[in-house]
């Protein structure tokens, strides 16, 4: 493992390439809104669905959950952010390279900032649907912060949800947070249902199965809903991904989608990242939507979302308050700041929306950049 990290540093590519991801003014976001026309009846069937059978790459994709979880645990252990729950899913992680820890901090913090902006619009009267949830602990962290959303639904491959259900049911701390007075917790090998928390095993390429699992999770299509995806769509074949996004757009009255994913994958650095992932058996079926911020936006517009914006992680990092950035930059020294910049330039967060509620959500990027000297 140490040899791999050394090799990657020499080639200016961090081990982050291997994991599931990896003053006002400043940068404007890439963004677009289109005139809207909603069909009177929502679509319920996907067109030209590609076979949702188990793909040879699925096992490699599933394994990225372990990588990402270990990386998050490593950063948490060093104090990049507070998460008292990740240790229940990951016991003894290896210490990761500083670039990895900083990268995951920006990823987690960026998504949290988006959610906070949505909460200013909805309060707790919203639903969160976490696609490809892995061992993410967002539900428990929100509960600890005093948030009790209307419904929180997590979806992932059954192989992943079964392991997460097992850890939840055997851990009092996790169970106490999902148990509500006068409510019950129902468990199966791959699914768990409580009053406002649900985790279900599902293949996101199968729309009928997704619809059934959301129904079992008591989803309400009229309640403002926030979809989250961290390096998920990129693993789904384009037609299946479009079917999924179109189905969401057709059936949810008010929604926002927060997508963390690769970007600028058509340059040399992106090619190296792709090759590293392919060597692990991960074929990025949806990489065509990751060539630019505009491509990320177009994916949502083509699937009938009303508008979208996108920022690379350089911009996201500089939207974090300067005092908070300074705190994390003191935790450990970077061996090569340039490497972190390159990684940030090849990941992004995009936001898409249905309805008017979330259309003015914006990320403010500081014009004065930090000690990384990013141009």
Token code pair at residue 224: 């403002």
Residue 107 assigned ligand-binding role: yes
3-state secondary structure of 133: coil
Distance between CA atoms of residues 288 and 212, nearest Å? 29
- In whole angstroms, give the CA distance from residue 73 to residue 71: 5
Give me the phi and psi of 7, to 5 degrees please: -60, -45
Nearest Cα to Cα of residue 148 among 129, 128, 169? 128
d(CA 158, CA 118): 29
134 annotated among ligand-binding-site residues: no
- Asked if 187 and 165 count as a contact pair (C-beta separation under 8 A), the reply is yes
245 neighbors 299 (Cβ within 8 angstroms): yes
The answer to whether 110 and 134 have CB atoms below 8 angstroms apart is no
Task: Quote the CA–CA distance of 1 and 48 in Å, as a whole number.
Answer: 42
What is the SS3 assignment for 348? strand
Annotation-wise, does 204 bind a ligand?
A: yes
Binding site residue list for S-adenosyl-L-methionine: 107, 132, 203-204, 230
Binding site residue list: 107, 132, 203-204, 230
């Amino acid at each position: 493992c140490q040899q791999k990290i050394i090799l990657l540093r020499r080639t200016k590519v961090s081990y982050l390439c291997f994991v599931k991801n990896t003053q006002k003014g400043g940068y404007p976001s890439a963004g677009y809104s289109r005139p809207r026309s909603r069909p009177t009846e929502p679509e319920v069937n996907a067109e030209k669905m590609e076979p949702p059978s188990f793909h040879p790459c699925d096992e490699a994709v599933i394994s990225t959950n372990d990588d990402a979880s270990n990386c998050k645990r490593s950063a948490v252990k060093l104090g990049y952010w507070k998460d008292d729950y990740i240790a229940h899913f990951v016991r003894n992680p290896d210490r990761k390279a500083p670039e990895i820890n900083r990268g995951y901090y920006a990823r987690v913090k960026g998504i949290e900032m988006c959610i906070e902006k949505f909460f200013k619009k909805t309060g707790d009267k919203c639903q969160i649907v976490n696609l490809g949830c892995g061992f993410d602990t967002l539900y428990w962290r929100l509960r600890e912060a005093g948030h009790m959303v209307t419904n929180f639904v997590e979806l992932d491959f059954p192989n992943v949800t079964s392991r997460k259900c097992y850890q939840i049911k055997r851990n009092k701390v996790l169970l106490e947070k999902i148990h509500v007075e006068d409510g019950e917790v129902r468990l199966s090998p791959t699914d768990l249902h409580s009053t406002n928390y649900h985790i279900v095993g599902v293949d996101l390429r199968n729309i009928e199965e997704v619809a059934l699992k959301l129904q079992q999770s008591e989803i309400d299509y009229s309640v403002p809903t926030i979809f989250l995806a961290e390096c998920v769509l990129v693993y789904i074949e384009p037609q299946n991904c479009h079917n999924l996004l179109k189905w969401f757009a057709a059936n949810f009255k008010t929604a926002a989608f927060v997508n963390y994913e690769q970007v600028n994958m058509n340059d040399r650095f992106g090619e190296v990242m792709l090759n590293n992932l392919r060597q692990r058996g991960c074929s990025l079926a949806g990489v065509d939507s990751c060539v630019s911020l505009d491509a990320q936006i177009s994916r949502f517009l083509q699937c009938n979302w009303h508008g979208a914006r996108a920022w690379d992680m350089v911009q996201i990092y500089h939207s974090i308050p300067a005092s908070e950035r300074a705190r994390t930059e003191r935790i450990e020294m970077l061996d090569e700041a340039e490497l972190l910049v390159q990684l940030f330039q090849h990941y992004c967060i995009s936001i898409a929306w249905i309805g008017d509620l979330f259309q003015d959500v914006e990320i403010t990027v500081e014009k004065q950049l930090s000690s990384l000297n990013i141009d």
